[in-house]
Amino acid sequence: MTASPRVLIIVQNLPVPFDRRVWLECQTLRDAGYDVTVVCPRGKNTGAYQVVDGVTIHGYRPYAPGGSALGYVLEYAYSFLATARLALKARRRGRFDVVQACNPPDIFWPLARWLRMRDGSRFVFDHHDLCPELFESRFPGGSRLALKGLELLERATFRTADRVTSTNESYRRIAIERGAKTPEDVSVVRTGPDPQVMKPVAPVPSERRGRDHLVAYLGVMGPQDGVDVALAAVDHIVHGLGRTDISFTLMGGGDCHAELVAERDRLGLRDYVDLPGRVPDAYVAEVLSTADVGLSPDPRNPLNDVSTMNKTMEYMSFGLPVVAFDLKETRVSAGEAAVYADPASGPQGYAEALVDLIDDPEARGLMGKHGRERIEAQLAWEHQAPSYLAVFDELTGGSGSSDLRRKDAR
């Protein structure tokens, strides 16, 4: 009996299964007959070893000494060593046919090269972010030497990869032009939500906290994510426009969460804005099912303009209309499910676009319906999974495709 092909998936910036994209990838490979092992940082309630729905997860204690450039260097050095140790531990069960590394950061190519030389493992780079642009967005005017180092790491990652799975066409073009990959070695695999999981539930009116409307944010809270812009927009809505009929729930964690809580309080918005941090999926579903609008306040910069925002598609999956700045890939994702503020208009323009949408329930309904239909027909993970699986089938000789293809045929 032939053993199932083994896949090692490396993630550094989020635990699994909390990382929704990676967990969908794991499930797709598992369902197609692959033996899947993940190495990642531990979550709050996870230990060093667990098996979840047939996926083996090795976790290491996260280490994040701070948001400075030096802090990231220390964090990534620690993560690399912890990952290498656990990967070698997992390898005792047998060689890995394919190693997948998800970025950020672009640091795992030496491990992939070693496993290729030792075992013949193939390397898939799951291209989630643009690390040089991410650095520039977090540290404007930062060290040119650090930026050059990130560019070299990115180039080495592309050069090592047998195949690249990019989250959108803009990233694919960068892999080809900047990473010197051949077009046939780069596949677009969007981070589509699962509409059977991310779907509306019964609204919870108490989440509006006594007001007529609820506006929600779901996502990471880092320097480049624009949650500070959203707070400034709320300040304009409440104190500039005098609108006291809207509550805001901004869900998620990140480097800036504590600063955002302090800024909310400084602006006198504690009664209007709830910042609960990371919350359970059930609470996310209740809030997004009750909200009138979802916020994608990412400002225009070289990173955001070409990045696909997961939160935008998650709002759409819940039938929520979106307010966003006019960014290239956000338009590709959301289409007519969003209204787009001029990036040059700043928080005030964003606030006015939001208020106009709040005051137009008919438009909200049509946009929400369009977004949900777009997810179901084009963007959902079920439409991305075949392209993702095809990469692994090609690298392993097609061993793992039969089960999923039978499902598709039904």
Model confidence, pTM: 0.89
Q: Are 216 and 288 in contact, with CB atoms under 8 Å apart?
A: yes
Contact between 121 and 98 (Cβ < 8 Å):
yes
Distance separating alpha carbons of residues 94 and 91, to the nearest angstrom: 5
β-pairing, 293-296 vs 273-277, is: unpaired
The 3-state secondary structure of the chain reads: CCCCCEEEEECCCCCCCCCHHHHHHHHHHHHCCCEEEEEEECCCCCCCEEEECCEEEEEECCCCCCCCHHHHHHHHHHHHHHHHHHHHHHHCCCCCCEEEEECCCCCCHHHHHHHHHHHCCEEEEEECCCHHHHHHHHCCCCCHHHHHHHHHHHHHHHHHCCEEEECCHHHHHHHHHCCCCCHHHEEECCCCCCCCCCCCCCCCHHHHCCCCEEEEEECCCCCCCCHHHHHHHHHHHHHHCCCCCEEEEEECCCCCHHHHHHHHHHCCCCCCEEEEECCCHHHHHHHHHHCCEEEECCCCCCCHHHCCCHHHHHHHHCCCCEEEECCHHHHHHHHHHEEEECHHHHHHHHHHHHHHHHCCHHHHHHHHHHHHHHHHHHHCHHHHHHHHHHHHHHHHCCCCCHHHHHHHHC
Q: What is the reported pLDDT for 407?
A: 41
pLDDT at 71: 82
**Long-range CB contact pairs, 339-348, < 8 A, 24+:** 339/367, 343/299, 343/300, 346/229, 346/232, 347/229, 347/230, 347/232, 347/233, 347/235, 347/236, 348/233, 348/236, 348/240
Domains and CATH numbers, the chain: 6-192+381-409 (3.40.50.2000), 205-378 (3.40.50.2000)
The pLDDT, as a whole number, for residue 365 is 97
Q: How do the pLDDT tens digits run along the chain, 410 residues long?
A: 568 999 999 999 889 998 989 999 999 999 999 999 999 999 877 789 999 999 999 999 998 776 677 888 899 999 999 999 999 999 999 999 999 999 999 999 999 999 999 999 999 999 999 999 988 888 888 888 989 999 999 999 999 999 999 999 999 999 999 999 999 999 999 999 999 999 999 999 999 999 999 999 999 898 889 999 999 999 999 999 999 999 999 999 988 999 999 999 999 999 999 999 999 999 999 999 999 999 999 999 989 999 999 999 999 999 999 999 999 999 999 999 999 999 999 999 999 999 999 999 999 999 999 999 999 999 999 999 999 999 999 999 975 444 444 344 33
Radius of gyration of the chain (CA): 21
Residue 409: its pLDDT value, please?
Answer: 34
* End-to-end Cα separation, the chain, in angstroms: 27
How far apart CA 406 and CA 410 sit, in angstroms, is 6
Q: Which token pair is 188?
A: 């677009």
355 close to 157: Cβ distance less than 8 angstroms: no
Contacts of 48 (CB under 8 A, 6+ apart): 42, 58, 59, 60
**Total Cβ atoms within 10 A of residue 177:** 9
Conformational region of residue 193, where left means phi above 0, alpha means psi within -120 to 50, and beta covers everything else: beta
Judge contact between 193 and 314, C-beta under 8 A: yes
Region at 268 (left for phi over 0; alpha for psi -120 to 50; beta for the rest): left
Assigned token pair, 255: 């480097």
Instruction: Give pLDDT, residue 2.
Output: 65
Question: Tokens at residue 124, please?
Answer: 């898939």
- The per-residue pLDDT for 254 is 86
Cα–Cα distance, 391 to 48 (Å, whole number)? 29
Question: In 3D, which of 300, 306, 379 has the Cα closest to residue 337?
Answer: 379
Two tokens, residue 205: 């009116």
pLDDT at residue number 70: 80
